[in-house]
Every structure is written in C-alpha cells, then in structure tokens.
Copies of this chain bind each other. A is one copy, B any other.
Amino acid sequence: MKIEIKDLIQDGPKYVLPNISVDSVIFGYHEKELKVLLQRPQGISKWMLPGGYVHRDETIKQAAERVVKNRTGLDRLFLNQFQSFGTPTRTKDSELTPALFAEINQMELDENHWMFDYFVSIGFYSLTEFSKVVPSGEFYLEECTWWNIGDLPSLLYDHQEIIEAALKALRLHIYHYPIGYELLPEKFTLPEIHSLYETILDKTFDSRNFGKKLIATGIIKKLDERRNIGAHRAPFLYVFDMENYNQALENGYALFV
C-alpha cells in the first residue's frame, strides 16, 4: 500500500504506527571501499540514515525492506536487525525542529506534531554492492549519496551512534557467518574476496593463511579457469559452494576465531 505524503503528515497514525521508526544502515562495498548511504533533508545541513515508518499491515522487517528498496532500488537483500534505540530525547535536534520543517516545506505544523514525538527506532543494517545501486531520494530530500565509512559528515539525532553500533554488529556477524554472495560476481578471485574481508573488518590477513582457511571451510570452490586482468599473472576463479554456504548461513561457523 502506497501512502500519500499529505495523508501521512496530517493523519499519520491512521496508516502507520506512531512513535516507531525503522532506520537502515545501508553499507555499500565496492573495490576496497566501504561506504554508508546517507540522505540530507531539504534545508538541513546534517545528514541522516534512510528511515521510515511501519505500516499497520507489515512487519518491522518488511518496513525496513521497503525503505531500503526505495533508496537503493534493490530487493532480495542481506538485511539484519541489530538493535533498537529508545531514549526520550534522541530525536530532538536544533537542526531539525517542527517549526523549521514546517517552514521549509511550506506547511503548518503543530509543535507537538506526531512526527516530532519520542520515537523508538529499530535499527537494521544491510550490505550491498554499491555499483549496483542508484541512490534515490524522496520529496523532502535534497541529496542521497554514499559516504566513506570513517569519513562521515555531521549526522542528525543519534545516527552517528546507530552507524557505529551497526558496524560493530556487521563485523561480529562476519566472524560467524559467510558473506560475499551478494557482493561479488558469480565467479571471483581469491584476492577479491580477500580484499572484501580486509575492507569490512579494517584488518589485514596474510594471503596464504586467508586462502587456506577459507577453502578449508568449504564455502568456496576453485575453478579450472582464470581471469585475465591485464598486465599481471592471471588469478584463478572461484565460486561459492552454495550448499556449504547456506549451511554456514544457518548454523554459523567460526572464521578467524
């Protein structure tokens, strides 16, 4: 169900749950860079996470999926709930008050408008190949772009804290579950998956030990095929062994204890 913006602002709680939002930390990986997708509302200098409300006929996870799909155009994502945030003042910010919001959007808004009440936010994170994504905004957004992790702009509310918690959760996740299926081409090289892990964890791994261990888990298989990468020795290609991969997704494993 698509809800009109006007109806939402005027009569929100009729369509969505009041006092609850979902915020998504959308991580994007591409060629040794890890980024986060952020948006900036009109007339505001601070940036914020893509977020939204929970429709009355959907689950919180579906709400997060809808938000991510709206911003990235992608569905069938890796999407994990990691933590909920609820302190009475977390959504008070002098940068974005009801009065300012009303002025910028040329509307009338009560000081106690439901959108500016105490909100509990349920945090999800997602991880995508960012070259596949065409970031797209919405009526009230001025920009929506990728930012390098570790070089973030000034953020609204407690969104800085949410991003940090998401990154921590993502890194913990990686030690227990395989990743890469959504991020790498079907056939990839050892150096590629090696860089993926190093970038996300912000660590270096010895290439000999890394390959040894990853192959030992059984989640990747070597092909009898190489990729031509120009002026250097051609690397072998690998694919995920989906049976082992999915089993590790379900049961977990210990990588790099």
Contact in complex: B60, A120 (CB < 8 Å): yes
Interface: A18 (CB within 8 A): yes
Residue A127 interfacial (CB < 8 Å): no
CB nearest neighbor in B for A90: B59
Within 8 Å of chain B (Cβ to Cβ): is A3?
no
Number of copies: 2
Residues 13-71 of A contacting B (Cβ, < 8 Å)? 17-20, 54, 56-61
Binds B, one of A78-86, A225-233, A239-247: A78-86
Range class of the A interface residue count: 20 to 34
Query: Which residues from chain B contact A88 at a C-beta distance below 8 Å?
Result: 56-59
A sample of 28 inter-chain contacts (CB < 8 A) reads: A17-B118, A18-B18, A19-B19, A19-B20, A20-B20, A20-B86, A20-B120, A54-B86, A54-B120, A56-B88, A56-B118, A59-B86, A59-B87, A59-B88, A60-B84, A60-B85, A60-B86, A60-B87, A60-B120, A61-B86, A81-B83, A81-B84, A84-B84, A84-B122, A86-B122, A120-B120, A120-B122, A257-B257
